[in-house]
Structure 1
Amino acid sequence: MKADVVVLGAGIVGVSIALHLQAKGRDVVLLDRREPGLETSFGNAGLIERSSVIPYAFPRDIRLLLSYALNRRTDVSYQPLFLPQIATWLARYWWHSSPKRLAQATAHMLPMIERSVLEHDELAQAAGITHLFRRTGWIECLRSQRWLTRAVADAERLESYGLRYRILDQQGLAAHEPHLKPIMAGAIHWLDPVTVSDPGAVVRGYAALFVKRGGRLLRGDALTLRQCENTWKTSTDAGLLQTNNAVIALGPWSVDVLKPLGYRIPMAVKRGYHQHFRVNERSMLTHPVVDVEHGFVLSPMTNGIRLTTGVELAPRDAHASPVQLDKARAKAAQMISLGEPVEANPWMGARPCLPDMLPVIGPAFRHRGLWMAFGHAHHGFTLGPVTGRLIADLMTGEDTGFDATPYRLQRYGSL
Structure 2
Amino acid sequence: MDFTLSSEQSAYRDKVRSFARKHVAPLAARWDEEETFPREILPLLGDAGLLGVTVPRAWGGQGLDLFHLVLAIEEIARYDGSLALALAAHHSIVCGHLLLSGTEAQKDSWLPRLTGGAVGAWALAEGQAGSDASSIKTEARSTEAVWSLWGSKMFVTQAPLADIFIVLAMTGGGARHNGISAFLVEAGAAGLRIGKPLHKMGCRATETAPVGLHGVEVGSEALLGELNGGFRDAMRLLDVGRVVMGAMAVGLARGCLEEATSFARKRRQFGRPIGQHQAIGWMLADMATETDAARLLVHRAAAGIGQGRVKTREAAMAKLFAAETASRVANKAVQVHGGYGYLRSSPVERYLRDVKLCEIGEGTSEVQRLVIGRDILKG
TM-score (norm 1): 0.25
Q: 1 or 2, which has the higher helix percentage?
A: 2
TM-score (norm 2): 0.27
Q: 1 or 2, which has the higher strand percentage?
A: 1
